Structure 1
Amino acid sequence: MATFVEGPVRVTVPATSANLGPGFDSLGLALSLRDELEAEVLPEGLVVEVDGAGADGVPRDESHLVVRSMRAAFELMGEQPPGLRLRCRNAIPHARGLGSSSAAIVAGVVLARALVAGGQLLASDDALFDLAADLEGHPDNVAPAFYGGFVISGREDGHWYAVRAGVDPRVTAVVFVPPTGVETTVARGLLPESVPHADAAANSGRAALLVAALNGQPEHLLAATRDWLHQDQREPAMPESLALVRRLRAEGVPAVVSGAGPTVLAFGSADTAAIAARCPDGWACHDLAIEPRGAVVL
């Protein structure tokens, strides 16, 4: 029988960018924009408080994604608390391709483990990551949200895997966030059932090059971020995003659609002011570092 800790626990979890061009459903990067969440066990009931990004559009009951993720983790550890209070301070934009749902899922499972005495013994990091990826359905955002940094992830023999790779300290990221979002299900619905073999081969080659480029040869990032599998196919849902990607790439800036979009991520170096100056009117621009930390219990 689980014993719950007294008092609130807090966790922060980073925004993430997945795909990064050719790394569809396999490559992800943590970014220095973090949600902060706090939870504690109550004698009864459920209290959900949300501030910041997406606060007007999320439920305050058991259907809240963080609560659902906490419940799944408690189930994994064999005990549900009598009541819960959850407070979310959201910095990650919702439905923009910056991993807000993965951040919520990862925060939920990590919060739940932190609320259980001896939670590390009941749920290892591997088990929590497996659960989080199951809840999300794919690991490319969950992996960097959980582990931090640049992560290559996938599924093998019925389990999810995540392998961290190095990131050159010269690499930074500028994200351009449009005022309206695109739901992941809509973006995925635009993808074809099959692609030409030549496109798949070209894409796999660029994905391999991207690992090398991020790991110490950023001069290859423009070539390494070329995609054949998903970005152009999603243009009907985000024409302004694809136009910005093409404009930046034509100017020599390695730019991609972040995740399922519509945010655009551009890789830079120490001087990102010139990239940020290309932000379209009405869009938000964030000059971010690559975040080495994943979910952190404070």
Structure 2
Amino acid sequence: MGFKIIVPATSANLGPGFDSIGIAVSKYLTVEVGEAQSVWQVDHQLGDDVPNDDRNLIVKTALQIAPNIKPHYLKVISEIPLARGLGSSSSAIIAGLELANRLANLNLDNREKLQLATKIEGHPDNVAPAILGDLTISTYTPDQRVFSLKGHFPEVALMAFIPTTELLTSASRAVLPEKLAFKKSVEASSIGNTLVAALFAGDLEQAGYLMELDQFHERYRAKLVPHLAALRNLGHQAGAIATYLSGAGPTTMTVIDSNHRQRFVDLVANSDLNGELLQLKVERQGVTVC
């Protein structure tokens, strides 16, 4: 009997929470697992650049965790745009992890899933909310241990602006500095720490202000995502709580009260920005298997 794996999209960093803070959002990767067969077959509509055999990231991940599982037919349906900063690769990794978990009867708990997924992905900011749902604060320690805490992100609208152009994570990371001065590092960390406290306290006013004070990555990526400054300005005009670069970009996320949402939609529609504006919400539940 087949089964279905559903993984939410994710939005990471939230400004100063670089490689640490993430939220699960209401776009999904669905993998329908069919019968066993002689070779892996991945049926999808994601284009020619995404393999449909055992080179597919979902299958590669599953085989990395459980090399002896039998090939199956997989039907993949994804609402998550590729290379846009909404965790498309992390969702595939989590889907592969759950595929191995089920087919090999591994009975992994969430801590074990987080450890495996972070080792594959390299950092936990996207994989943690994909596994746990909602808001997660995570770290990957020098001795390669993962710690992640789940919180409750306040009830707000999330307006994702998705440009028509891709931005690969590798390109977005290439513009980051190798080092930060000690004083700047302390300042950046203190902002991130206080953002976490504000989020856990449900203080949106402080959280929103701090989300726009990142010192780690947004200023260095600004030339790759010129629409961030424009959307942040439009957000301020509409009374938004904050606008931040989602993951490595190019998607931006505007956190806004539902009462101000339409004003923001109108402002973006009347601008010269080229992209799609989507209303999302925080997904409280992580990956599910049914």
TM-score, structure 2 as length reference: 0.90
Number of aligned positions between the proteins: 282
Tell me the equivalent position of 2:43: 49
Tell me the equivalent position of 2:145: 159
Q: CA deviation at 1:159?
A: 1.5
1:127 and 2:112 matched: yes
Once residues 128 and 213 of structure 1 are traced to their aligned partners in structure 2, the CA distance between those partners, rounded to angstroms, is 28
Q: Secondary structure at the match of 1:23?
A: coil
Name the amino acid aligned to 1:15.
Answer: A
Q: Secondary structure at the match of 1:164?
A: strand
Q: Deviations over 1:276-297 (max 9, x none)?
A: 3333543111111111111001
Once residues 258 and 236 of structure 2 are traced to their aligned partners in structure 1, the CA distance between those partners, rounded to angstroms, is 18
Tell me the equivalent position of 2:26: 32
Name the amino acid aligned to 2:29.
Answer: D
1:264 maps to which of 232, 245, 252: 252
CA contact (8 A) 1:97 1:262 kept: yes
Over the residues paired in the alignment, what is the CA RMSD in angstroms? 1.9
Identity among equivalent pairs (%): 33
Tell me the equivalent position of 2:262: 273
2:3 maps to which of 2, 9, 15: 9
CA contact (8 A) 2:110 2:132 kept: no
- Once the two structures are overlaid, the 10-residue window that deviates more, 34-43 or 172-181, is 34-43
Q: Deviations over 1:171-191 (max 9, x none)?
A: 331110001110000000000
CA contact (8 A) 1:40 1:115 kept: no
Change (3 A) 1:200 1:72: same
- Once the two structures are overlaid, the 10-residue window that deviates more, 107-116 or 145-154, is 107-116
1:237 and 2:224 matched: yes
Tell me the equivalent position of 1:137: 122
Once residues 246 and 211 of structure 1 are traced to their aligned partners in structure 2, the CA distance between those partners, rounded to angstroms, is 24
- Once the two structures are overlaid, the 10-residue window that deviates more, 86-95 or 264-273, is 264-273
1:114 and 2:99 matched: no
* Equivalence map 1:236-255=2 (5 Å): 236-249=223-236, 253=240, 254-255=242-243
Structure 2: 5+ residue stretches without partners: none
Once residues 38 and 112 of structure 1 are traced to their aligned partners in structure 2, the CA distance between those partners, rounded to angstroms, is 14
CA contact (8 A) 1:171 1:218 kept: no
Change (3 A) 1:205 1:249: farther
CA contact (8 A) 2:20 2:124 kept: yes
Name the amino acid aligned to 2:279.
Answer: D
Tell me the equivalent position of 2:274: 282
Once residues 211 and 263 of structure 1 are traced to their aligned partners in structure 2, the CA distance between those partners, rounded to angstroms, is 22
1:20 and 2:5 matched: no
Once residues 129 and 72 of structure 1 are traced to their aligned partners in structure 2, the CA distance between those partners, rounded to angstroms, is 15
1:69 and 2:58 matched: no
Q: CA deviation at 1:246?
A: 4.7
Once residues 104 and 119 of structure 1 are traced to their aligned partners in structure 2, the CA distance between those partners, rounded to angstroms, is 19
Q: CA deviation at 1:9?
A: 1.3
Tell me the equivalent position of 2:197: 212
CA contact (8 A) 1:222 1:252 kept: no
Once residues 234 and 277 of structure 2 are traced to their aligned partners in structure 1, the CA distance between those partners, rounded to angstroms, is 16
Q: Deviations over 1:13-49 (max 9, x none)?
A: 1111111100001101111111111123514111110
CA contact (8 A) 1:171 1:214 kept: no
Name the amino acid aligned to 2:119.
Answer: D
CA contact (8 A) 1:203 1:227 kept: yes
Once residues 189 and 102 of structure 2 are traced to their aligned partners in structure 1, the CA distance between those partners, rounded to angstroms, is 39
Name the amino acid aligned to 2:160.
Answer: V
Q: CA deviation at 1:197?
A: 2.8
1:185 maps to which of 151, 160, 170: 170
Q: CA deviation at 1:160?
A: 1.5
Once residues 286 and 203 of structure 1 are traced to their aligned partners in structure 2, the CA distance between those partners, rounded to angstroms, is 30
Name the amino acid aligned to 1:124.
Answer: D
Name the amino acid aligned to 1:259.
Answer: G
Change (3 A) 1:278 1:181: farther
CA contact (8 A) 1:231 1:242 kept: no
